[in-house]
A and B are shown apart, each in its own frame.
Chain A
Amino acid sequence: MTDDHNEVQDNAAGRPVATDPRTDALIGNKLRAYFDKLLEEPVPDRILELLEQLAAKENQGKPGSEP
């Protein structure tokens, strides 16, 4: 695990990587917009059908049994 040793020497020059708060905020906004976009994607039928099968199974007993 190198995380504890090189966290401030990550760029090519080996100098500390630093971002200003504005850049951090911009990156944060982009990431959330990206994720929100993916959240809007419709859940595919095969996953909905699987969940429906499991819900029906759960209605008959406990989860954990074979679907």
Chain B
Amino acid sequence: MSTTSHDFTRSMMSAIPSLRAFAISLTGHADRADDLVQDTIMRAWAHAGSFQAGTNMKAWLFTILRNLFTSEYRKRRREVEDVDGEYANTLASPAEQEGHVSFNDLREALAKLPDDQREAVLLVGASGFSYEEAAEICGCAVGTIKSRVNRGRARLSLLMFGEPAQP
């Protein structure tokens, strides 16, 4: 039995929870997120030959998912009215208060960000990618990602806490 047996799929498996969290954050719907994750897995499998063993599987899968979302899923955009609760109800565990700002407040604020700022904030601020990795995933310059993260964070601050804080 080869030692590489199962390695590709196993490597995908370990990235699924964060891939799915990213998909839920992007789409705002658990069901839609799962369609997106499933399509990402199928595309990754079909293009397994282009994945270089030893490189970052998680970043590779995020790139595929992000491209699928951009090209297809964004057409079926979230509707504004969905922001109030439908999404939260699709989660297995109920949304809870997280300090002064609730889980739902952050989710609603994220939904109001422009798409490019949302994905940048989610990749760098939530998923733990570096600016360089996020730039790679989004196919843009590192400076562009930094700018989007800064503007996205400032807008989140404005949406959740009112006035932006003074410098």
Contacts and interface: CB of A to CB of B under 8 A. Distances in A.
Interface size range on A against B: 35 or more
A25 B37 CA distance: 30
B93 A40 contact: yes
Contact of B166 (A18, A35, A38, A39): A18
Query: What is the predominant secondary structure among interface residues of chain A facing chain B?
Result: helix
B41 A41 contact: no
Contacts, number: 146
Nearest to A35: B126
A23 B45 contact: no
A54 B45 contact: yes
Contact of A41 (B7, B24, B99, B155): B24
Query: What is the predominant secondary structure among interface residues of chain B facing chain A?
Result: helix
B54 to A, nearest CB: 15
Given A3-B144, A7-B147, A17-B151, A23 B165 contact: yes
Interface residues of B, number: 61
Interface string B139-167: 00001100110110111111011001111
Given A4-B147, A11-B154, A27-B160, 19 more contacts: A3-B148, A11-B164, A19-B154, A23-B164, A28-B153, A31-B122, A35-B18, A35-B21, A35-B126, A37-B95, A38-B24, A39-B17, A44-B34, A47-B20, A50-B42, A51-B12, A63-B8, A63-B48, A64-B45
Interface of B: 5-10, 12-13, 16-18, 20-21, 24-25, 30, 34, 37-38, 41-42, 45-49, 91-93, 95, 98-99, 101, 103, 106-107, 110, 116, 121-122, 125-127, 143-144, 147-148, 150-151, 153-158, 160-161, 164-167
